[in-house]
Structure 1
Amino acid sequence: MVTQPEAYTVVKGEGLPIVIAHGMGVDHRSLMMLDDAFPAGTQRIYVDLPGYGRTPALSGIGGLPELAEWFMHTVNELVGDHQRFALLGNSMGGALVRDTLSREPKRVAGLALIAPVVDPVMSHRRLAEHVIADANPQLTQSLPQDKVIDFITMGVNQSFDAWRRYQRYILPGTKLCDREANARLSKRYWLDGDPEQRMGTYTGPTLIVTGQQDQIVGNEDQKALLPHYPNAVYKIIDPSGHNIHIDQPDAVKSLLAEWSKKLLNS
């Protein structure tokens, strides 16, 4: 079992634990802008995955199967072996939380997925066309290209407000990314088995949020998950790219608030 490294976490609130996993290349801060969506009675545990933020990289090959095993172990360390908990995952984090759910479905109070990776193999994905909805050449032409590229390719909202959100919540994590570990992960980017095939059906409160213009993971593969989640709320946000919560934070927060209420009432 993968028992190292110890996860760096930020914990907000008290109550039902919600373990939150970010995507590739960023850290826990990328999702903290959503924290005020969660009601009292929830404890949000934001995790830096290995090689990102303040959690050291996995030793050895450090692929997605090893990362999934580490995440499952870390969840148990954080909440206790028998404690119920909920899961929220964004992008790659969506694949990790689905894998954990498939191994411990009776303990999981609910699942939320924001632009989740469904098929880790990029060539297998059904992607959307990336169309900028709110072009802002005044902004993008004034910024260093190395900072602008991801902002442009991941989102469709180029407003000054969206840039400020990106600058505050996304950029700090990109600077702490372990590039060598990230490259090793990219070379072994698959899960050991399909989570939904392992699990079958999960009837807990489920939220799946996708972007209409997401060219990284699309919105069709996520829709194909729905037979396994009969109580899921599935929402395509338009306009929105892969960074849905940067493009459309209010819409994502509203959906998370409703999901959280269901957690507390389930």
Structure 2
Amino acid sequence: MTLHHVEIGDGTPVLLLHGYTIDHRLMLPLESVFAARPGWRRLYVDLPGSGQSPRLSGPVTADAMGEAVLGFIDTAIGDEPFAVVGISYGGQLARHVVAERGAQVLGTALLAPLVKPSGARDLPERQVLTRDEALLASLDPADRDIFTAIAVHQDEAGWEAFRDHVLPGIRAHHRSDAAALLKAYMLSKTPEDVFGAHHGRHLLVTGRQDHMVGWRDQLELLEHYPRMTYATVDGAGHNVHLDQPALVDGLLGGWLDAITRD
């Protein structure tokens, strides 16, 4: 299937995969890191049923999502070496890409990746680090409920980032497909069970206050990625790159530079 995407730049392809019930706009704050480093062709993709991409024609499952991503890779990238950035649900799909196209994959950057199903996760206690009551009172109640359910920084800066990069995708995704996906949310095969170890350059960044996927379960991935850098960022929830942009940008830039050196 043809997935809607935004393409920027020329050079080595890098595929950017967003999370559940949002779209490629969540990933656009990372663009400044790439813009400062010529030689990367960025492919910001809307997953099936999200943003402007079509819905899946069959059952909505994690495996079907993974196949759609692989089909996009075959069409848009072909047999070129490439890198992958995945956040949250996109992090699970990025690992699936390693399992299925590992010889082509230069490395992955996994931001708050989904690792375990709901109910099996080791999650920190829910925390709100900053809260502006006047701001929250001024918001549309529906927007406020979504924002406060996720954000650890419930202030002006946190709201602006959420409004511009998260909320548009939430409004655009297909609701019934999202509900169907929840019933088959995890891949039928754990990617690391397929490939064992991948020796590309990898980066894993989690938020210390991420109450949605946590940061402890992701430690298990390190055994499968011998060249992986792991960082747990304080002052960050699930949208770690929005909560601590300077730290995440620095880590992502270092990862890109390491791939370039290799």
TM-score range, shorter chain: over 0.9
SS across alignment from 1:124: coil
Q: 1:88 is matched by which residue type in structure 2?
A: V
**Which residue identity is paired with 1:67?**
M
Deviation at 1:159, TM superposition (A): 2.4
Question: When the two structures are superposed, what TM-score results if normalisation uses the length of structure 1?
Answer: 0.95
Distance in structure 2 (CA, Å) of the matches to 1:263 and 1:136: 41
Q: Runs in 1 of length 4+ with deviation above 2 angstroms?
A: none
Q: CA deviation at 1:150?
A: 2.5
Match of 2:220 in 1: 224
Match of 1:190 among 186, 190, 197: 186
Aligned mate of 2:75, from 68, 74, 77: 77
1:103 aligned residue? 100
Runs of 5+ unmatched residues, structure 2: none
Is the 8 Å Cα contact of residues 130 and 241 (structure 1) preserved in structure 2? no
Q: Per-residue displacement from partner, 1:97-144 (whole Å, max 9, x unpaired)?
A: 10110112111011100000012x201111122211112112112212
1:19–1:86 contact (8 Å) kept in structure 2: yes
Q: TM-score, normalised by structure 2?
A: 0.96
Residue in 2 aligned with 1:214? 210
Letter in 2 for 1:98: R
* Aligned positions of 1:78-227 closer than 5 A: 78-80=76-78, 82-119=79-116, 121-227=117-223
Residue 233 of structure 1 aligns to a residue in which SS? strand
Paired position in structure 2 for 1:240: 236
Q: State the shift of 1:149 in Å.
A: 2.1
Q: Secondary structure at the match of 1:218?
A: coil
SS in 2 for 1:122: coil
- Shift of the alpha carbon at 1:75? 1.2
Give the number of aligned pairs.
260
Residues 155 and 246, structure 1, Cα contact 8 Å, conserved in 2: no
Q: Is the 8 A contact 1:140 1:148 kept in 2?
A: yes
Q: What is the alpha-carbon distance in structure 2 between the residues aligned to residue 239 and residue 25 of structure 1?
A: 24
Q: C-alpha root-mean-square deviation of aligned residues, in Å?
A: 1.0
More moved, 132-141 vs 109-118: 132-141
The alpha-carbon deviation at position 147 of structure 1 amounts to 0.6
Identity of aligned residues (%): 35
Aligned partner of 1:260 among 253, 256, 259: 256
Q: Give the letter aligned to residue 106 of structure 1.
A: A
Deviations 1:138-180 (A, max 9, x none): 2112212211222222221122112111111111111111001
Displacement of 1:12 after TM fit? 1.1
Q: Is contact 1:41-1:264 (8 Å) kept?
A: no
The match for 2:20 is 24
Tell me how far apart the structure 2 counterparts of residues 65 and 86 of structure 1 sit (CA, whole Å). 21
Give, in whole Å, the separation in 2 of the partners of 1:263 and 1:13: 17
